[in-house]
Amino acid sequence: MRRCPIGLLVLAGELALSSGPAAADSLVVNGTTRTFTLQAPATKPAPLVIVLHGKTQSSADMITRTSWPLIARRDGFAAVYPDGLNRAWADSRPDTRRAGNPPPEGTDDVAFITQLIAKLVGDGTADPKRIYVTGISNGGAMAMTLACERADLFAAAASVVMNLTDESAGACRPARPVPMLLMNGTVDPLIPYQGGRGTSYFAADGFWSTERTLEFWRRVDGCETKDAATTDLPDRNPSDQSTVTRIDSACPQGRDVVLYRVNGGGHRMPGHFPDAHFTKLAATLLGPQNGDIDGADTIWAFFARFP
């Protein structure tokens, strides 16, 4: 399908969201009803992008506060927006590495997403060779957990504003390499770019640095450990207090690992949509939101190259 500029899509956002074929649904996983919203493609089977919200968020936030619905409509892929229990995901970190309330004890979100994929492949919606997962914050940790535990299901994965911990890295034994995109801000008060504990009162401790997380995924995918190329992207929005640098890796074909470093960026999804209702409060608590790139559009361009 012919691509049109994301800026034009943003101008038509309300119309596209109101008319898009999205439907709430549910399935039962280990006796618990799990909910999700599916944006079905016009033609089936289609690529499928699983979009995981951050902690305290829901599927509705990903639908209304990111450009994923617009991009899916533009490029003809299916997008599914699952809901975490207690508005959180049971990724491979222990509760001591989490801020706020975790999901209920015994929650198996790997089983939930695995069953969701099986449903969408089984009904002909999703192409099993073109399934992708991405998430922001806690959702980014869950996306990495899925890449670690069910690498067989995914053609590529992407994590936004999240780093690994000793526990999540130690539990990561993917069955095969998975192309990985990371997108982190250098002044993130919750998930510090340099690792450790963030400056926010709500931050947890024990995070790896972004550089160490990047190096981990390079090793998993058989890439060279050093940066292959560093590209400063155009500063299209000078007022956003941030810029973006793309850092590429030297990897075997089909195993790409890339980092989008948001210089001066906070715990935010880069994009042309305000990612919070109270934008000034979000800037105070989470740091600046970059507007030079659209995070969802950038991630989809990465995903679309695989397999």
Q: Which positions ≥6 away from 277 have C-beta within 8 Å?
A: none
pLDDT of res. 292: 98
Give me the helix-helix angle, 109-122 and 138-149, nearest 10°: 70
Those residues of the chain that have pLDDT short of 50 are 1-2, 4, 7-19
- Regarding pTM above 0.85, the answer is yes
What are 82's strand-pairing partners?
36
What are 263's strand-pairing partners?
243
Tens of pLDDT, residue by residue over 235-286, are 999 999 999 999 999 999 999 999 999 999 999 999 987 777 778 888 888 9
Structure tokens of 214?
A: 């990047």
CA trace torsion 144, 149, 154, 159 (10° rounding):
0
The arrangement of strands across the sheet holding 46-52 comes to 22-29, 32-39, 78-82, 46-52, 126-136, 156-160, 180-185, 257-263, 243-249, 227-232
The amino acid occupying position 58 is S
For residues 141 and 300, what is the distance between their CA atoms, to the nearest angstrom? 18
C-beta separation of 62 from 81 below 8 A: yes
For residues 190 and 202, what is the distance between their CA atoms, to the nearest angstrom? 7
Structure tokens of 154?
A: 């995914």
Kind of pairing between the strands at 46-52 and 126-136: parallel
Distance of CA 142 to the CA centre of its chain: 9
Kind of pairing between the strands at 180-185 and 156-160: parallel
Q: Which positions ≥6 away from 43 have C-beta within 8 Å?
A: 76
C-beta separation of 132 from 47 below 8 A: yes
Tens of pLDDT, residue by residue over 123-134, are 999 999 999 999
Q: What are phi and psi of 38, to 5 degrees?
A: -110, 130
Q: Is 279 left (phi over 0), alpha (psi -120 to 50) or beta?
A: alpha
Q: What are phi and psi of 30, to 5 degrees?
A: 50, 40
For residues 152 and 289, what is the distance between their CA atoms, to the nearest angstrom? 34
Q: Which long-range contacts (CB under 8 A, 24 or more apart) does 235-242 make?
A: 235/292, 236/291, 236/292, 236/293, 237/290, 237/291, 237/292, 239/291, 240/288, 240/289, 240/290, 240/291, 240/292, 241/288, 242/185, 242/288, 242/290, 242/292
